[in-house]
Amino acid sequence: MSKSKLEYIWLDGYKPTQSLRSKTKIENDFSGKLEDCAMWSFDGSSTEQAPGGSSDCLLKPVYIIPDPQRKNGYLVMCEVLNADGTAHESNGRATIEDDDNDFWFGFEQEYFLWDNETNKPLGFPANGYPAPQGPYYCSVGAANAFGREIIEEHLDVCLDAGLNVEGINAEVAAGQWEFQIFAKGAKEAGDQIWLGRYLLERIGEKYGVSINWHCKPLGALDWNGSGMHANFSNGTLRTAGSKDTFDKICEAFRPVVKEHIEVYGADNHLRLTGKHETASIHDFSYGVSDRGASIRIPVIVPAKGWSGYLEDRRPNSAADPYKVAARIIKTVKSAVI
């Protein structure tokens, strides 16, 4: 009889930013298939998801990948349900209306590697600051790239697990990095981002380094914040062949700025200032190849006869990709083409 370790992973109910939680379930002769993952439960009173007098919440497995870091291990992403089987209010995945997987998402996940001893990013001296940003983006060398052993291990583990990571790079600030994940289907894109975050957090434990997902951990200082840019398309965008179609879809975002900002991550006003490659949180704009716009139309779109995808640059690094995708889908579907 073989025994497998299934790590059930879910999002807690903390506000305004949810955190990852997980626990291990041992199964005998497990097939490795999602349909053979049993429903499970947990104490929701310890995760801000239930009162103590009625504390059971359910875990519904929705996505599974191998766990390369554990012998006979699997990572099982779960939705949180109430005891009666309905979606818990914290369950952003359940709000996605994309059953046919017509929407494709590519998320660019930025983050800081954080030195717990100095309470600053890796590469920052204990007293003072490093040289101004400029040499760190896509950098190489010990003077500019900090924590590469961590991000390289993370990349290998993600690929071994079967996550569709499309690239990594050092970002604009010292100690800041990014990984990109693409999936056909909004739910799977969210699953993969959350599992990528989980693996990074766990690798950070090994090195004694925290992962700082906050969108502006360095405050008002002259350093870029962290985003989770959302590249998205559906069948209409991918086959549009028309600038007018792109304009109509972009314009559909204009009257619902507030609704988008509400799910684009806490403290985004600190990041969306109109500086550091962002649009102001108070404005809405779009443009070809414009990284200072709310939505960037990639230069490849007009080059290919106005067919392709869009990039919403407003979601921040701590945003829930499920909620981001759900809101984008709703807005795109509202466009009158």
- Cβ(36)–Cβ(29) under 8 Å? no
Instruction: Please report where in the chains the tokens 């960037």 appear, as a residue.
Output: 296
pLDDT in tens, the chain (337 residues): 799 999 999 999 999 999 999 999 999 999 999 999 999 999 999 999 999 999 999 999 999 999 999 999 999 999 999 999 999 999 999 999 999 999 999 999 999 999 999 999 999 999 889 999 999 999 999 999 999 999 999 999 999 999 999 999 999 999 999 999 999 999 999 999 999 999 999 999 999 999 999 999 998 778 889 999 999 999 999 999 999 999 999 999 999 999 999 999 999 999 999 887 788 999 999 999 999 999 999 999 999 999 999 999 999 999 999 999 999 999 999 997 7
Question: Which of 3.40.50.620, 3.40.50.2300, 3.10.20.70, 3.50.50.60 would CATH assign to domain 3-91?
Answer: 3.10.20.70
pLDDT at residue 259, rounded to an integer: 98
Distance between first and last Cα of the chain: 58
The string of pLDDT tens digits covering residues 272-298 is 998 877 889 999 999 999 999 999 999
Q: Rounded distance, CA 332 to CA 37, Å?
A: 34
Superfamily grouping for domain 104-334:
Glutamine synthetase/guanido kinase, catalytic domain (3.30.590.10)
pLDDT at residue 43, rounded to an integer: 97
Q: Rounded distance, CA 93 to CA 190, Å?
A: 8
The string of pLDDT tens digits covering residues 60-75 is 999 999 999 999 999 9
- Cβ(213)–Cβ(111) under 8 Å? yes
**Category of 29 on φ-ψ map: left (φ > 0), alpha (ψ -120 to 50) or beta:** left
Q: Rounded distance, CA 333 to CA 327, Å?
A: 10
pLDDT at residue 268, rounded to an integer: 97
Question: Of how many residues is the chain composed?
Answer: 337
| Residue 18, token pair as written in the block | 């949810």
Report the chain's C-alpha Rg in angstroms.
20
Q: Is the dihedral of CA 330, 183, 109, 71 positive or negative?
A: positive
| Residue 132, token pair as written in the block | 């101004």
Instruction: Give Cα separations from 234 to 93, 105, 228, 242, 300 (angstroms).
Output: 18, 9, 19, 14, 16
Read off the pTM.
0.97
- Cβ(72)–Cβ(91) under 8 Å? no
The string of pLDDT tens digits covering residues 170-187 is 999 999 999 999 999 999
Domain assignments of the chain as residue spans, ordered by start: 3-91, 104-334
Question: Per the omega criterion (within 30 degrees of 0), is the bond before 16 cis?
Answer: yes
- Cβ(196)–Cβ(331) under 8 Å? no
Fold match flag (3-91 vs 104-334): no
